[in-house]
Amino acid sequence: MTPARLITLEGGEGAGKSTVARGLQARLAERAIRSLVTREPGGSTKAEAIREALLVGQVKPYGPFAEAIMFYAARIDHIEKTIRPALARGEWVISDRFADSTRAYQGALGQIDPALLASLERVALAGFRPDITLILDVPVEIGLARAAARRGSGATDRFESEGRGFHARLRKAYLDIAEREPDRCIVLDASLPPDDVLEMAWAAVEMRALAEASHADADTALP
């Protein structure tokens, strides 16, 4: 049997993560693989409550490190209540954002020593990590234009309202993560049309997660 995998989708505003998440779930279903699409911040009852506070900017006055801690409080509940149980049931999990978002966003907001963020991640995750992370890379202007078009006349949230410089630092932060962890991360050109992005995402999942799963099956098969 194919072991369940945790796939995370990362990227800046309007990169197309939710679109790819739905597409990957459909592709997995064609292979008769059950999956759960979830998101961060959120994905469990308590984490969704924390999401609300974070996105309206209630934690902003306490500074980026306090925000990082709150993202981790939500993440711990999300892992325990949603992600681990789904993996234990044999369902693949596709999470729209995960720990790299804290590295990139709270890191890009500045003033946080990367070593401090890394310590927080180490303590909170205790080695738990995604099997594969797809980083949807899109030029800042394109991502912000997509997010604005989708939002219409609705209000921007805490992070959408940050300036262009922030979003440029964010993009670089994600590319740096991918460069440091090439075994886990794959960067996709998310400026292409949705169908092309999904094709690339699916090819990456087939190559990394499904191929590894087949090898694992072969390794454990009886002669």
Q: Considering only residues 4, 5, 14, 173, which one is a binding residue for ligand Z5A as defined by CB under 6 A?
A: 14
Q: Which of 221, 136, 127, 223 is nearest to 177 (CA)?
A: 136
Residues 119-158: x/- map of binding to ligand Z5A (CB under 6 A)? Answer: ---------------------------xx--x------x-
Instruction: Count the residues in the chain.
Output: 223
- 120 CB-contact burial (10 Å; exposed 0-12 / middle 13-18 / buried 19+): buried
Q: Counting contacts by CB under 6 A, is residue 44 touching ligand Z5A?
A: no
Count CA within 13 A, CB hemisphere, residue 92: 26
Within positions 84 to 103, which residues make up the interface with ligand Z5A, using CB under 6 A? Answer: 96-97, 101-102
- Closest distance between ligand Z5A and the C-beta of residue 46, in Å? 15
Spatial CA neighbour of 211 closest among 37, 2, 33, 23: 2
Tokens of 73: 């409080």
Please list every residue from 158 through 187 that binds ligand Z5A, using CB under 6 A.
Answer: 159-160
Binding residues (CB under 6 A) for ligand Z5A: these are 11, 13-19, 39-41, 71, 96-97, 101-102, 105-106, 146-147, 150, 157, 159-160, 190, 193-194, 197
